[in-house]
Amino acid sequence: MRGAGLAVVLLVALVGIFLTWKAVPSLLHNKAPFLTSRVWSPDTNPPRFGIAALLWTTVISSIVAMLLAVPVAVGVALFITQYAPKRLATPVAYVVDLLAAVPSIIFGLWGIAVLGPVLAAPNSGLRQGIENSLGWIPLFSSTGVSAGNVFLASIVLAIMILPIVTALSREVFLQVPRANIEAAQALGATKWETIRMAVLPFGRPGVISASMLGLGRALGETIAVTIILSTPNIGAPFDPSLWAGGETFASKIANAAGEFDTPQKTGAYISAGLVLFVVTFAVNAVARVVISRRKEV
Amino acid sequence: MATATSTTLAPISDSRKLRNHVATFAMYACFVIAMIPLVWIIWTLVAKGAGLLGDPHWWTNSQRGITSRIQGGGAYHAIIGTLLMALVTALIAVPLGVGTAIYLVEYGRGRIARAVSFMVDVLTGVPSIVAALFIYALWIGTFGLHRVGFAVSLALVLLMIPVIVRSTEEMLRLVPRDLREAAFALGVPRWKTIMSIVLPTAFSGIVTGIMLGLARVMGETAPLLILGPYAKAINTNLFSGNMAALPTMINQDRVEALKPAVDRVWSAALTLILLVMVLSLLGRLVSRLGSVKTSR
């Protein structure tokens, strides 16, 4: 039994070791600054590749997804734990969990074929408004709207992480001590005031770590993002806007999956994967620390 | 608490009432918003994909010799591929996952147990594409082997283990202490107690975890892209040749514009979601029917 436990530890260590091992030769040959360059031509001699553009698209799409998902998820969790009648709470929680069972390729397919066209029309007015007032920020300016834009990917990612954030928030809201809630009620607080005074402060660390875990999921999501984001043309200038296409770590790797032919080229993609591993590891670790600190109190 | 100053039973002011109503409305609205995508997705899949599923050929034939212009054809090759890879994944992941959970609950104390538990958390967060790259670096980059179904299964093992560990752990913790202590009092050794008392009591919960884990890995696409190229014909050999799976069947034709191919994409998507939903529904059912009885 201990062997099985240690095997798991070994497995995670091996993931880090193997990715590093296969990435290092390519990184040593790389003639571009890996962290700050936006070029990606791993098959030239010498290779030149950097992750700046990938990191930007990955992080911005995931953060927007988190900002969209967390308020709704907290609302749903409060609905299930505080508002819904007991008989309704279990089925509702179950249906939200079902959303988590939908495979990500189906989210991607639906996002680009159904949701994208539907959102395009009302979105364009909203987008125009944002662009007119905030267009001086590169994030909101546009040089031409792409059908598979980062914002659409963020909406789909938000839907995908909603069940995770909801489930974890629900769990902490259920743990709020009865005494805290009754104390608030005894002071004559309305239901909303009870939630603000007793439930939310108690649940805050849990909600924060739930959001971080959702963020981690969004950062590493592959196929849905690959399907939705339109890949910029080779040599096109980098566009940081939400309305442009782009590539994330995962989609870059997935798009190249069939053409790993030389160790040098493969190493470049593996080094991108290694960065993704490190980033998600860090985000998840922070989430766990926040949760476990609360347990000790 | 900042607002805990008023202790008299003054009538609730209109603004507070209004705020309360707005909040209640917002919670119901959040719930409705969360329901929209699920209903919308299922409706889309049924509307666009149900057509082919009624044809028995869909369940018995492959796509061999069928081009984008030809109607119909089957998904049998992809269904069998998905099931085979998932089965092999489970064969490796279940013993490891259940063993780890038993270690954490029954034996684990101190620093090693904490490290194992932490690593399971890390594994939960590893993106599927990273797991796939790892197996690529190992299987192809180091051993020089080919892209085959078994390599996909190995990558899926990494994704399935944490699901099984966490659900098994939860179930084992629900097994009452009394049961274990009764066995110990009778002089039953620890391993025998686990084998004949703890595991049978938690059995249905473990089965649920396995089913949910299977549902998760069947829908994964990234490992298939990197390690398991698509094939239009039936292949049941996990160690040689390209092997189809439902996600790669969808991925293969998703950029097609011709209607017969587009129809197949949606039908394959519907088939995949049916498979996954049936598994997770069954999992919940098993856990409801045979959950650990904690109250007496």
Selected for mutation to probe chain B from A223, A270, A292 (highest B CB count within 10 Å) is A223
Q: For position B266, what pLDDT does the model report?
A: 95
Q: For position A60, what pLDDT does the model report?
A: 94
Which pLDDT band holds residue B177 (cuts at 50, 70, 90)? confident
CA distances from A27 to A23, A32, A69, B228 (A): 6, 9, 36, 27
Per DSSP bridges, beta strands A40-41 and A48-49 are: antiparallel
CATH no., domain B77-289: 1.10.3720.10
Please write the tens of the pLDDT for every residue from B230-258: 998 999 889 988 999 999 999 998 888 88
Q: For position B291, what pLDDT does the model report?
A: 59
Q: Domains of chain A by range and CATH?
A: 51-296 (1.10.3720.10)
B15 touches chain A (CB under 8 A): no
C-alpha torsion B141→B253→A254→A68, nearest 10: -150
Which residues of chain B are within 8 Å of residue A78 when distances are taken between CB atoms?
A: 27, 30
Please write the tens of the pLDDT for every residue from B211-231: 989 998 999 999 999 998 999
Task: Provide, rounded to the nearest whole percent, the portion of chain B with pLDDT above 70.
Answer: 94
pLDDT (mean) for B121-149: 91
pLDDT (mean) for B116-140: 92
Q: Rounded to an integer, what distance in angstroms lies between the CA atom of residue A151 and that of residue A157? A: 10
**Record: contact A253-B133, CB cut-off 8 A:** yes
Question: Could you tell me how many CB contacts below 8 A there are between chain A and chain B?
Answer: 262
Task: Provide, rounded to the nearest whole percent, the portion of chain B with pLDDT above 90.
Answer: 50
Q: How far is A129 from chain B (nearest CA, A)?
A: 24
Complex-level ipTM: 0.89
Tens place of pLDDT per residue across chain A (297 aa): 678 888 889 999 999 999 999 999 989 888 888 888 888 888 888 888 989 999 999 999 999 999 999 999 999 999 999 998 888 888 888 888 888 889 999 999 999 999 988 877 666 666 677 777 776 777 776 666 677 889 899 999 999 999 999 999 998 999 999 999 999 999 888 899 999 999 999 999 899 999 999 999 999 999 999 999 988 877 777 888 888 888 999 999 999 987 888 888 899 999 999 999 999 999 988 888 887 776 544
How is residue B261 written in tokens? 């191919």
**Domains in chain B: boundaries:** 18-47, 77-289
CA distances from A79 to A73, A74, A75 (A): 10, 8, 6
Instruction: Inform me whether the pLDDT recorded for B1 exceeds 70.
Output: no
How far is the first Cα of chain B from the last one, in angstroms, to the nearest whole number? 40
Q: For position B274, what pLDDT does the model report?
A: 94
Instruction: Inform me whether the pLDDT recorded for B2 exceeds 60.
Output: no
Nearest to A165 by CA among A241, A96, A109: A96
Q: How far is B32 from chain A (nearest CA, A)?
A: 9
How far is the first Cα of chain A from the last one, in angstroms, to the nearest whole number? 31
Tell me the three state secondary structure of residue A49: strand
Q: How far is A174 from chain B (nearest CA, A)?
A: 16
